Every structure is written in structure tokens, then in C-alpha cells.
Amino acid sequence: MTTTALILAAGKGTRMRSSLPKVLHPLCGWPMTRWVMEAAKGAGAAPVVVVGHQAERVRAALGDGAGYALQAEQKGTGHAVLCAADALPRAGVLLVLAGDTPLVRPETLRALLDGHGDALCTVLTAMLEPHEVPASAYGRLVRDAEGRAQRVVEAANATPPERLVREYNSGIYAFDAAWLIDEVLPALQPHPPKGELYLTDAVEAAAARGRLQAVCHPDADELMGVNDRAALSVAEAALRARINQAWMLAGVTLRDPGSAYVDAGVRLSPDVTLGPGVVLSGACVLEEGVTVGAHAVLTDTVVRAGATIKPGTVCEGAEVGPEATVGPMARLREGTVLGRKVKVGNFVETKKARLDDGVKASHLSYLGDTHVGADTNIGAGTITCNYDGFGKHHTEIGAGVFVGSNAALVAPVTVGHGALIAAGSVITTDVPDDALALGRGRQRNLPDRAAELRARFAERAGKVPR
Amino acid sequence: MTTTALILAAGKGTRMRSSLPKVLHPLCGWPMTRWVMEAAKGAGAAPVVVVGHQAERVRAALGDGAGYALQAEQKGTGHAVLCAADALPRAGVLLVLAGDTPLVRPETLRALLDGHGDALCTVLTAMLEPHEVPASAYGRLVRDAEGRAQRVVEAANATPPERLVREYNSGIYAFDAAWLIDEVLPALQPHPPKGELYLTDAVEAAAARGRLQAVCHPDADELMGVNDRAALSVAEAALRARINQAWMLAGVTLRDPGSAYVDAGVRLSPDVTLGPGVVLSGACVLEEGVTVGAHAVLTDTVVRAGATIKPGTVCEGAEVGPEATVGPMARLREGTVLGRKVKVGNFVETKKARLDDGVKASHLSYLGDTHVGADTNIGAGTITCNYDGFGKHHTEIGAGVFVGSNAALVAPVTVGHGALIAAGSVITTDVPDDALALGRGRQRNLPDRAAELRARFAERAGKVPR
Amino acid sequence: MTTTALILAAGKGTRMRSSLPKVLHPLCGWPMTRWVMEAAKGAGAAPVVVVGHQAERVRAALGDGAGYALQAEQKGTGHAVLCAADALPRAGVLLVLAGDTPLVRPETLRALLDGHGDALCTVLTAMLEPHEVPASAYGRLVRDAEGRAQRVVEAANATPPERLVREYNSGIYAFDAAWLIDEVLPALQPHPPKGELYLTDAVEAAAARGRLQAVCHPDADELMGVNDRAALSVAEAALRARINQAWMLAGVTLRDPGSAYVDAGVRLSPDVTLGPGVVLSGACVLEEGVTVGAHAVLTDTVVRAGATIKPGTVCEGAEVGPEATVGPMARLREGTVLGRKVKVGNFVETKKARLDDGVKASHLSYLGDTHVGADTNIGAGTITCNYDGFGKHHTEIGAGVFVGSNAALVAPVTVGHGALIAAGSVITTDVPDDALALGRGRQRNLPDRAAELRARFAERAGKVPR
């Protein structure tokens, strides 16, 4: 049977106080409405998103996993559905959801569909906590003595006993598609003062025909709408908890799940361990036995089995080889590919850098636009001078090379296999295999001259020398 | 009408186990009692703080937003008020609060004042949770059958039915100032064994005159006193939540409000985004659209619109220009001023450094006591040698300069506009505009000498060369 | 009286999905079962651990604070005790505990022992929350009308009224050792289908003799078993809260105890302050007045009184002297010893480095295998070249030395007291006391050559020069 999920995402979301449309605010790596789309798909429904405010931006961000309809003006929920009518099949069931309810689960929508049967409209409801009842502005579901759904009454129109009803309309519906689109929508009447069309009138029409149903969901929190950034943070925390719980049950150790930030698109493996404050964004993949130390931040990075990322390391678009160690406080940028057992240490930055198996770059280096052969040792303070102010150039370093500390390799340049670069050298021309390259001044010691210099410096500073 | 708020802050706070007076322990950037002062001011009352333990230090830390009175010896709450009598107006209402109740809100004090009317004393009360009742040492508020406040009975003197009373005395009072100071205080009798004067005797005096009132506050947590560091952390968390909630509703995204640490004095703007673990201390100002990555720590730093602070960056007393990017793992120190679209990258430190629009210092550099002209490129590993062991000296770098990697600029020195500094150079004398400066050794390649050197090194290490 | 605690730790813990045995998963720095061992010791019982899965690894990790017995095959709890029979004294009381209940406290076991009296078996029980009752698979404790423990009935065998009992068997027992080992164990009958021996049969035997007791513990959370990594994270959070609460009451400020990670073996002092995200692992000792900034990660590090560790710093196996300052973003490695008032600044790494009183190494340096005399200043970018590809060598730097920026000191080498090293020098031979050492190229300025070079670079990049 055809099931379509119409997701209403045309509003601006004024209370977000943002230049970004509300439905695009990110939650664990996805735009808010992507979560609703995925829930719909997970329930077997094809999503169609109604866009309006910044329509093109929303459409681009949500991608081609959904159909789209344009609601150019925002004139009510009924109007939103009407705007999408051409994009909707007449057969089967039409789910209607808001794009700002990111916590709704596929199984919840599945339960709504299962409960729909041959009703014209089925409302997904939940229960208010007793203390929320008096203040709530939600429409209440009125049931008859046998517990059958009779109608939804808006809070403003509710009688005093009806106002005590705890079961409320979540705004998520299943409709008989043909009936809604062809019979009800064309007959909707605008409501003063703004002339909006209300989808709740369709609920009323189903009730009038005695074919209204309600499915009550036990977890009201899951149906929350996000209207401001406080609610956004609550939704983020809920999704984070859900993601983290799943990974823990799959064999991942999170030292503090409250401070592990794992995006929806990340893939982890058993015996991965994440320290506190770790942020994994985008399409990270961490293989078996990988350890990520405290406060490391990885984006779109692949870490092979048994590798260790030490605290405070930042990686973007990198690939870390098996049993490699990176950090602490290293920074791997896009195009970094580290081989097996490579070691990249503190205060080292790599970019478009391929380091073959066993390479060590342990301290204070910049390796950009470079290939380093196996087992080469990069001394502390080594810089590949890849930029000349106009273009980027390549540095090729062979296997088994020893680059002394504080060396500068001015690209384009090639250092042959087995070469030795003396500490402090500036290398501007190619170094043959097995050669020793020096490019530095010769040391001179000037006896007793320190005192003389100190006196000069002290005088300059208006101080007495030591 | 005159309202004065007398804040009792003379105690040592032994259970804090600290050399810092309890009332000065910081909470979200303010000393604890500053929060009470601000609440009093927010309710329209002029604060007077009673100091005693480390009086001068407390006074200096709380500043001149309050009057002060000295309680040289701590001989009870009544004695504290007596010590302040000379500093207090006789007209209007006198609020009395403890300096260790930092969560009290202005509107709560306002409600106490509104309820005070023409009473002689009004007690602010709150309700114990039922399970707290039996153990509580608080004084209970006894009301008559009509619900009118009759008296406060200390836990030790309470009858069994009185001990079941949930409403307790928070220790926050409004008094008729003239009556308290001129009639009651002079008549207070010392209590054995320590000869202390109790302010609760003034409450009793008001009750005896039939002019005691009570205002019950619905949120008992807000009235908590801080007596040890566990309570201090609870208070910090409550204030943090309050600050964060307000910023979120104002349009700031906090990816995890539970781990966003924003001091009271910080100012944020819509579409600011703070990653997890971000710490904003002192007088930070972040303009619209600023993004601060995970675990960055900013103190007294201004960040202009659209700038990006990447993860793990530390800033103190810096100003970051519009659309600039800083970090990850950069460190901006006092006196740093970055222009528009400046880029400061990883492992770069700046201090008293002005970088004009478009400057790039992307890696592993130290820029201190320097001015860098627009669009200049600072190569990786560049060091301004600003210190000679006695004084700090200035480095002036022109616009459109290209400083090669691993260059050392020995201050005082000037590099002219458009100059080029060769990689690895040590610059000790001025470089004219558009000149190329080199200060490095010339490269020599010694063919096949690597093996010879390796053999020597291996022998030295007692190993077999590769 | 002899008390032995038999701790069952032979299982694999399949639901952990780990190559590490469940009982070795770390919690606040200790393997899970170490917590149970310590609780037993704290209650005066000598621990004996039953190992099986990866027995040698478990034994090695738990160390010689316990006796061990091997259960080669896992054939039930009764079988586990039977396997240990040879290692157990017949006198006194035998506690039996699971190795995966890390939250149990010494005082809880003490209460169980105190309640045991002359019973043959005493069961430690706790109360299910009402909503947990119907689903619980725990054995229920059945009491008679006088409240005396009668028997434990397994959930599967419970009558409907028995299933409503909230008091359940935690699986922690005190037994009369001689009775259990010599009378009951030899008579245990295997249960189909796996032929396991159940310790609950011993409970039944005690009940049959009318000598069963039960001690009900008020905190069910404390008796939780860890079976998956979600439970592991709950246990970690509970232990973390316990540790943090104790330190706060002892005078330590934790700005956010929810994100302070202090291992069981760490020792703190009054007026220590830990920022958010701080991780203290292993055997750290922090003396009075030490401040550790946000997100610093310290392992096995001693910090003397009044020292400051700034944000993002990583230390392992280091010792930081009194009033020293380290970081932000510094990295101290094993064998680092800093004297009084030493300053190690950002992007500085030390390893096997002794820095005497007053040394400053403020920026971008690597100091390895070195001793630096008092009051020496290490310039930004200084590198000790301690590695030649084969061995590590020592650099000796005297007192009162000034090492210029970007200097490379090629070890083994000695710099005498009071010497000056010019910026950018490569030092390969010893520098006498008070000498000035230079080892760098001489600066040449080539007028107007920048434009020429730029044109060449632009052409190379296919761009138009500026």
C-alpha cells in the first residue's frame, strides 16, 4: 500500500532568532527535518517536504531523499497540504508531520499506521503530565464512554471538563489520502482573522463521519516540537543519548556518554573507546579497537583498527592507518593519509600529506603537499615550504630518510631515499639518494662575548645587566 | 521609598576548607556575594555588605557597588546588623540577606517587599520536601487557622506537631528599618553559650506585636545557602543553566548547554554558536554569527561578526576581526588585534600583535610585539624574537610581505612593504621595501655521506646501521 | 573472626562485545573488579577472586591484593565456589560477590556481616521500584508474617502473589564458611539443561534449616551488575560522582563536577581548582592551591603547591614545581621535572627534561633528554636534537643561559653557564661558559629582487603577480 509522509517545513521559525531557517538547524549532524524524513522512510513512507521560507536553501540542504512542494505564503496547515496536493498520490495513506519534530521514531509512525485501519483520519496523541494540563494550549482528544475517539477540541473551545483531559493532539496524523485531498481540502474554509486553512477542520470532518481514530503514544517527549534554541538543545541531547546508547550496546566504551558527541553519520566498531569531550562529526569511521583521547575533534575521518588518537587532536578529512598514533594536540587536515604504525606527534600539522608505513613526525612540524616514504624520520620543527605566495608545490621525501630538526624543505623539491638532512638546513634543491645535505651556517663560539652583548641589551632596556 | 539590603558576608566559611573567604568563591565569573548584591539592586534595594573575615579583601573584590560595614568579631546575625546600624537609613524597609545565597532572584526579593506592607517583619519562607521534614534544622513558620503568620519556632524548640511543618524560614527578611534599628537591636539579649545576638529575636518581637508576615517562595532551591564546595558546584550549575537558557532564547545555539561555561559578564548575539566544552570568561563579546568550536577557552576577548574560532583555541584579552578564522589550537594573548579576514592557524601564538586585514599566519609561529601590514603571509615556523633577556622589542612588518618558513626576525627590526624573506632566514637588520632578504646557509649535498654518518651514529648507540 | 570474600570473575561478559574480559573494563582508573576487591577489604574481608575467561590476564591486572582460584569451565555460581574450595578457610564467614558489581560499598558489606549473626546464609536484598516489579527476573525474598526471611524464590517459580514482592536477591551473600564448603557444596546437584550448579541451592538449604537471613539495603543502585557498556557508563558516572563529592567536601573546587574525571588513585589538596573537562588519571598528586585549567589531561603527574596548569595541557609522568606555570597547550612527557617558578608555555614539549628553578621555555620548543640550569631562557622554536636515528643523546644547558629563537642544539652537546646562543643557530659543538655562539647564515638584502621572484613564482603557478 502506498504511504506518503507530508512534512511541513515552510515556516521561518521566528523564535529561533536566526538567519537560518528553523528546519535546517543541525541536530547531531543532520538538519532538523532530515530526522523527520528518516523517520518517515523508516516507517515505509515516501517523504514529501513542504518548503516556503528560504525554500531553495531548505531543499538543497535536505537533498533528493524527498519530494518537494512549495507553499509560497504560509496560510495555515490546511493550506500547506493543499499546496502539495499535486505532488501527492491519491491512493493509500497520507501521514502529515511537522518538520520540527525531530525526535519522532519510525516505530511510532509505524504504530500510527497500524492503528489507522480504514479510518479517514487517525490522530497521534500523547498524555500531558497532570501539572501541565491547566496551562496547555493543545487540542484535547475527546473519547466516548467506550474509549473511542470522538473528536479533537481546541483548548480555546474546550468545556471545563474537556480542559481536564490529559490526552492531546500531537499534530501528527494519518489520513485516507484520496478522501483528504479530493473531498476535504477543496472544501476547507478560511478562518479569521488571517484567513488560514486549518488541518484540524479535516480532523473534524472525519469525526463528523464517525471515522476518526486516535493512537496514544506513551512517550510524549518524543513528539516535542522545536520552536526555540532551548528546545533545540533538548532535542540534541535526546538524539545524542539515543545514538550513544546504541553504540554502547554495540560494544563502544564512552567514558562519559553525556559528553560524547557522535553525529548520526558516524560508524563505530566494537572496542572503540571515546574519552570525554570527543566530537565525531560528519562521516567518521572508526574501526575495531580505536581509542580516541579526551577532547579530540574528528570530522570526516577514517581511523583504521588499533590506531590511537591522543587528547586534543583535531582531524578533518584524514585517514589514519592501522596501529598509528596521532597526537596529543596534532592536527590532520584534508588529504592526509597515514600508513600503518605511523606516528604523528604533538604540534604537528599535515595537509595533503601521505605518510607511508612507519613514518615518524613526532613534534612541531608542518607537512603539506608531501609524500613521505616508509620509515622516514621527520625531525622536530621540520617545515615543508609548500607555498610561495602564488601556488602550492610538492615535496617528495623518500623512504628511510632522516630529516634533522628545524629543517625547511622548499618545494618543489625531492629528497632521495636514505638521505640525511642536517638539522637546521634549508633545502632548496633536490637531494640524491643516500646523500647528506647541509644548508646552514657554521657554528662559531666567541669567548666571553655574552657579557658584552648582555650589557648592550641591558643598556637598551634601561636595566642593569646580570 | 528607601529600601536597603543588608548582606551578611562576615563569616569565614570553615566548611569550604579554603584560604579564600567563602563569599568570594567565584560563580560564573562573579564572587558569590556579587550575585546577592545584584539581586538586591535588581529589586530596587541599595546593598550594604557586612564584612568581617578578611574584610579588606572581600571589600576590594566586591567593589564599590555597595556600602560596607565591619563586623570585627562574628557574634551572631543580630550582632551583624547592629554593627551596620550606623550605615543604615532609618526610613523605609531593610532587607536582610546572607551573602552565601547566590541563587536568589531580584523578582523574589521584589515579591517579599510587595508582601511586606506595613508589617514590622516579613519572613521569606519556602517548603521542605516531605522527606526532608524530619531531619531539617530550619526554623518552622507557624501559621494560625486563618493562615496568618504567627511566629517562627526554631527546630530545637518545636513541638512534635510543629516539627511536621514544611514551611521554613529561609533567613531572608524584610524589616521596618526604624523599628528594627532603633527599637529592637538595642534591646537584643546575648544567648549562651557564645553570647551571640540572634536576628530571630527580632522576628519574635514582631510576632509578639502581631505584625509578623511571611511570603512563601515556590522555589526552595533558589534560597539555598552555600556552605561547602559541593553546594558551590550546585549553585554554579544552577547559575550556568540560567545564563545558558537566557542566551538560547536570545538566539544562541549551545550544542550542549550542560558543557557551555559562559560567565555573567559575557555578551552574545543571535546566531552565535558554541560547541561543547567552550569556556567564555570575563568580559567576552561575541558578535552575530560567530562560531566557537569545541573546547575553546576565551577570556576578555571580542570577536567580530562572522568570525570563526576553531576547536581548542585559547584567547585572552584579544580582539578578532570580522570574518577572521582562528585556530584550531591557536593562542591569542593580550593586546592581539586581528583585522578583517585574518587567518591565524594551528600552533600560532600572538601577543601585543596587530595583524591588519587579510594577514595569514597559518602554522607554528610566534608573533609578539609586532605589527603586520595587510595581506602579508607569515610562513610556518616564523618567530619574532622580541626578547633579548632584558626588554621586549618591536617588529614592524609591512603590507604584502612574504615571510618564508622558519624565519627568525630579531627585534627591533623592520621589514618593508612587499619584501620577501627567504625560508630559514635570520633577519637582524631592516629589510627595505620590495627587497629579498636571505640569511641562511647555502645548501651542499655530500653524495653517499649518509651511510658514513649512519654508521657513526649506530656505533655511538651500539647498534647495527641499517 | 576470619572473613573471606569470594569474588566471581570468571565469565566472559558476552554483552560487553569486547576482547577485554568484562571484569577488567576500567572504571575511574581501576579494573571493574578491583572496586569489588577494595570494598571487600574495606569491610575487613580477604578477597579471593575466581578467574576463568582469560584467567591469567585478569589475575595480572587485578594484582596480588587478592588470592585466586581457577574456574576453567563456567558451570554455574555453585561450581565457581566449588572451584575455589581449596583456597578458602573453613572458619568464619564467606562473603560471595559478583565481580561485576563495582558500586558496592564497604559499609554495605559490613552491614551484611553485622546482620549475619549465626545464620547459615544471609542474603543481601534491595527493593525494586514498583514499576520494575512485574518485569523483574530477580529472585524474590519471601518473608513470613513476622518479617523473618523464609526463602528465595526464583522469578520463574514464583506464585502470582510472590511475583508482587519488591524485595529481591542481589546475589551477594554471607555464608557460614564451613557449612557451605564442607556440607552444601559437595551435595549440590547439577541443573538441566547445562548441568550447572546453582549457589541458590545453598540458600535453599539454609532456608530448609530455618537459618536463612536477609539484610535489605536501602540503595538498590549500589548493587547493580554491569553487563553491557551502557551499564558500564552508569557505573562510571556513579563512581565519578562519589569521588568528586568527596574531594569537594575536602576543599577542592570542581567548576563542573559532571565533567571532572578524577581517577581513584589521584590525591588532591585543599584549594585545588579543576576547570571543566579536566582528566586526572593514574597516580596524580596535586598539592595545595594548584589550578588546572579547562580540558587539561594529566596522567601520573605530581604538581607542587601553587602551580598552575593552563587549559589544554597534557602531562604524563611529569613533576611540576611549586608556583610553576605550564601551558596552555603544553605537553610534558615522562621524566619531566620542573623546578620552582618554571614557566613552560604553549606548544612546548618536554621529555626526560629537568628544568631548574626559574627556567622559561615559553613557546614552540622541544626539550628532550636535557638538563637546563636555573634562570635560563629558552627562546621560541628551540629544539634539542636528541635523536640521530639510532640513539638518544643528552643536551646540557647551563644556568643563566639565553638560547635565541629557532636554535637547534644537536646532542650530545653542552652549553656553558651564562652563554648566549644567537637566534637561528645550529649548535653542534660545546659552547663555553659566557661565550656567544652563532651558527647561522649572514643576512643579505637584495634590493628590488622581491618583484622578480614574485614574477617567477606567479608564472610557475600560472597566475598574474601582484
User: Which subunits have 3 or more CB–CB pairs within 8 Å of chain C?
Assistant: A, B
Contact A102, A226 (CB under 8 A): yes
Query: Cβ contacts (< 8 Å) between C437 and chain A: which residues?
Result: 443-446
**Parallel/antiparallel/unpaired status of strands A291-292 and A279-281:** unpaired
What span, in angstroms and rounded, lies between the C-alpha atoms of A218 and A127?
7
Instruction: State whether the Cα torsion B101-B105-B106-B109 is positive or negative.
Output: negative
Do residues C381 and B381 touch, judged by C-beta distance below 8 A? yes
Mean of the per-residue pLDDT values for chain B? Answer: 96
Size of interface A-C (CB pairs under 8 A): 215
Residue A450 contacts C where some CB pair is shorter than 8 Å: yes
Residue pLDDT, tens place only, C154-167: 888 889 889 899 99
**Residue C440 in this model has a pLDDT that exceeds 90:** no
Q: How far apart are CA A220 and CA A233, in angstroms?
A: 17
What is the pLDDT at residue B290?
Answer: 98
Task: Write the DSSP string, A145-176.
Answer: TTS-EEEEE-GGG--HHHHT--EEEEEEEEEE
Q: C461 touching B, CB under 8 A?
A: no
Q: Which residues, given as ranges, of chain A have pLDDT below 50? A: none
The residue with greater pLDDT, A108 or C136, is A108
- Among the listed residues C363, C371, C394, C417, the single catalytic one is C363
Interface of C with B in 232-261 (CB under 8 A): 245, 248-259
Active site residues of A: 363
- Using CB atoms, which residue from C249, C329, C449 is nearest to B230? C249
Q: Name chain B contacts of C256, Cβ cutoff 8 Å.
A: 233, 236-237, 240, 259, 261
Angle in degrees, CA A329, A333, A339, rounded to 5: 85
pLDDT of B361? 98
Q: Note whether C446 contacts B458, CB cutoff 8 Å.
A: no
Supply the pLDDT for residue B84.
Answer: 97
In chain A, the residue whose alpha carbon lies closest to the alpha carbon of B241 is: A230
State the residue for C-alpha cell 562521516: A283
pLDDT at C465: 64
Q: Report whether pLDDT(B106) > 90.
A: yes
Residue B346 in this model has a pLDDT that exceeds 80: yes
Residue B134 pLDDT grade (very low, low, confident, very high; cuts 50, 70, 90): confident
- Could you give the angle at which helices C32-42 and C55-62 cross, rounded to 10 degrees? 50
Question: Using 50, 70 and 90 to split pLDDT, how confident is the model at C441?
Answer: confident
Measured in angstroms, the CA of A219 and the nearest CA of chain C are apart by 16
In chain C, % of residues over pLDDT 90: 92
Minimum-distance CB partner of A297 among B294, B451, B454: B294
Give the ipTM of the model, two decimals please: 0.95
CB-CB contact of A116 with A173 (8 Å): no
In chain C, residues with a C-beta closer than 8 Å to the C-beta of A328 are 297, 314, 331
Of A311, A441, A446, which is closest to C440 when you measure between CB atoms? Answer: A441
Using CB atoms, list chains with 3+ pairs below 8 Å to chain A: B, C
Predicted pLDDT at B131: 86
DSSP B409-449: EESSEEE-TT-EE-TT-EE-S-B-TT-EEE-SPPPEEETTH
B279, B400, B457 ranked by CB distance to C294: nearest: B279
Cβ of A389 and C454 within 8 Å? yes
What strands, in cross-sheet order, belong to the sheet with B360-363? B253-254, B273-274, B291-292, B308-309, B325-326, B343-346, B360-363, B377-378, B402-403, B420-421, B436-438, C444-446
Structure confidence at residue A465 (pLDDT): 64
Q: Which residue, C341, C335, C376, is CA-closest to C354?
A: C335
- Cα nearest neighbour of A295 on chain B: B295
Q: Is C424 touching B (CB cutoff 8 A)?
A: yes
User: Phi and psi dihedrals of C294, rounded to 5?
Assistant: -55, 135
pLDDT tens digits for range C335-349: 999 999 999 999 999
Chain C interface test: which of B22, B349, B378, B386 (most C C-beta within 10 Å): B349
Distance separating alpha carbons of residues A407 and A384, to the nearest angstrom: 8
Cβ separation C297–A311 shorter than 8 A? yes
Residue C9 pairs in a beta bridge with C51
Host H or E run for residue B98: strand B93-98
The answer to whether C435 faces chain A, any CB pair under 8 Å, is yes
pLDDT digits (tens, 9 = 90+) for B28-81: 999 999 999 999 999 999 999 999 999 999 999 999 999 999 999 999 999 999
Nearest-CA distance from C347 to chain A in Å? 6
* A447 CA: distance to closest CA in chain C (Å): 4
Within 10 A of A130 (CB to CB), how many other CB atoms are there? Answer: 9
3-class DSSP assignment, residue C145: coil
Nearest Cα neighbor of C327 from C344, C305, C303 is: C344
Chain A residues in contact with C406 (beta carbon < 8 A): 381, 406
- Supply the pLDDT for residue A93: 97
Q: State the pairing for strand pair B3-9/B366-372.
A: unpaired
Q: What is the pLDDT of residues C35-71, one digit of tens each?
A: 999 999 999 999 999 999 999 999 999 999 999 999 9
Per DSSP, the residues of C99-140 read: TT-TT--HHHHHHHHHHHTT-SEEEEEEE--GGGTTT--SPE
Report the distance separating Cα A383 and Cα A118, nearest Å. Answer: 71
Give the whole-angstrom CA distance, residue A297 versus residue B312: 9
For residue B27, name the pLDDT band (cuts at 50, 70, 90): very high
pLDDT at site A169: 95
CA distance A317 to B124: 59
Question: Nearest by CB to A445, which of C240, C297, C431?
Answer: C431
**C436-461 mean pLDDT:** 92
Question: What integer pLDDT is reported at residue B465 of this predicted model?
Answer: 64
Judged by CB atoms within 8 Å, which residues 276-295 of B form the interface with C? 277, 279, 295
Inter-residue long-range contacts of B277-280, CB under 8 Å, 24+ positions, other chains counted: B277/A259, B277/A277, B277/A295, B277/C259, B277/C276, B277/C277, B277/C294, B277/C295, B279/C275, B279/C276, B279/C294, B279/C311
pLDDT at C165: 93
At B368 the three-state DSSP class reads strand
- Tell me the whole-structure pTM to 2 decimals: 0.96
Q: Which member of C248, C277, C295 has the closest CB to residue B230? A: C248
Chains with ≥3 CB–CB distances under 8 Å to B? A, C
User: For C68-114, how does the pLDDT look when each residue is reduced to its tens digit (9 = 90+)?
Assistant: 999 999 999 999 999 999 999 999 999 999 999 999 999 999 999 99
Amino acid at the residue A451: A
- Is B258 in Cβ contact with C258 (below 8 Å)? yes
Cβ under 8 Å to B: C residues 332-371: 345-347, 363-364
